[in-house]
Structure 1
Amino acid sequence: MTYWLKEVAALPYVCGRTTALPQWKELDRPREKLLHHGRQYLSDAELLAILLGSGSRRETAVDLARRILHAADHDLHHLGQASISDLMEFHGVGQAKAITIVAALELGRRRQLLARPERPQITASVDAYHYLLPVFQDLTHEECHFLALNRANRVLRRVAVSSGGVSGTVVDAKVVFGRALQAKASGIILAHNHPSGQLRPSTQDRELTRKLVAAGKTLDLPLLDHLIITDGAYFSFADEGLLS
Structure 2
Amino acid sequence: MTYCLRIADIPTNERPRERLIAYGPKSLATAELIAMLLGTGQGPGKLSAVGLGQYILQKLGENQRDPLEVLREMSPQELMEIPGVGPAKATTILAAIELGKRTFYSRPPERKEIDSPEAAAAALSHELMWQPQERFALLLLDVKNRLIGTKLLTIGTATETLAHPREIFREVLRHGATRAIISHNHPSGSLEPSPEDIQLTRQLLQAGQLLQIPLLDHLILGNGDFQSLRQISGLWEEYPQGD
TM-score, normalized by length of structure 2? 0.51
Q: Give the Å deviation of 1:138.
A: 2.5
| 1:126 alignment partner in structure 2 | 118
After alignment, is 117-126 or 184-193 more displaced? 117-126
Given that 2:130 and 2:222 are in contact with CA atoms closer than 8 Å, whether structure 1 keeps it comes out as no
The DSSP-based 3-state class of the residue aligned with 1:165 is coil
Which residue of 221, 233, 242 corresponds with 2:213?
Answer: 221
Query: Where in structure 2 are there 5+ consecutive unaligned residues?
Result: 1-108, 239-243
Structure 1 distance, partners of 2:161, 2:110, is 28
1:175 is the counterpart of 2:167 = yes
Structure 1 distance, partners of 2:136, 2:111, is 20
1:142 is the counterpart of 2:134 = yes
Q: Give the Å deviation of 1:212.
A: 0.2
Report 1:105-124 matches (<5 A). 119-124=111-116
Which deviations, in whole Å up to 9, do the C-alpha atoms of 1:179-228 show, x marking residues without a partner? Answer: 10011111100000000011010000000000000001000001100000
| 2:149 alignment partner in structure 1 | 157
Given that 2:184 and 2:220 are in contact with CA atoms closer than 8 Å, whether structure 1 keeps it comes out as yes
What amino acid is aligned across from residue 153 of structure 1 in structure 2?
N
| 1:212 alignment partner in structure 2 | 204
Which deviations, in whole Å up to 9, do the C-alpha atoms of 1:112-139 show, x marking residues without a partner? Answer: xxxxx86310111111011111211321
| 2:158 alignment partner in structure 1 | 166
Which residue of 210, 213, 235 corresponds with 1:242?
Answer: 235
| 2:222 alignment partner in structure 1 | 230
Structure 2 distance, partners of 1:239, 1:148, is 20
Give the number of equivalent residue pairs: 128
Query: Where in structure 1 are there 5+ consecutive unaligned residues?
Result: 1-116
What amino acid is aligned across from residue 157 of structure 1 in structure 2?
G
What amino acid is aligned across from residue 174 of structure 2 in structure 1?
Q
Higher-Rg member (1/2): 2
Given that 1:133 and 1:231 are in contact with CA atoms closer than 8 Å, whether structure 2 keeps it comes out as no
What amino acid is aligned across from residue 143 of structure 1 in structure 2?
R
The DSSP-based 3-state class of the residue aligned with 2:230 is coil
What amino acid is aligned across from residue 131 of structure 2 in structure 1?
L
Given that 1:191 and 1:228 are in contact with CA atoms closer than 8 Å, whether structure 2 keeps it comes out as yes
Structure 1 distance, partners of 2:207, 2:174, is 16
> RMSD value over aligned CA atoms?
1.3
What amino acid is aligned across from residue 222 of structure 1 in structure 2?
P
What amino acid is aligned across from residue 144 of structure 1 in structure 2?
F
Structure 2 distance, partners of 1:195, 1:120, is 28
TM-score, normalized by length of structure 1? 0.51
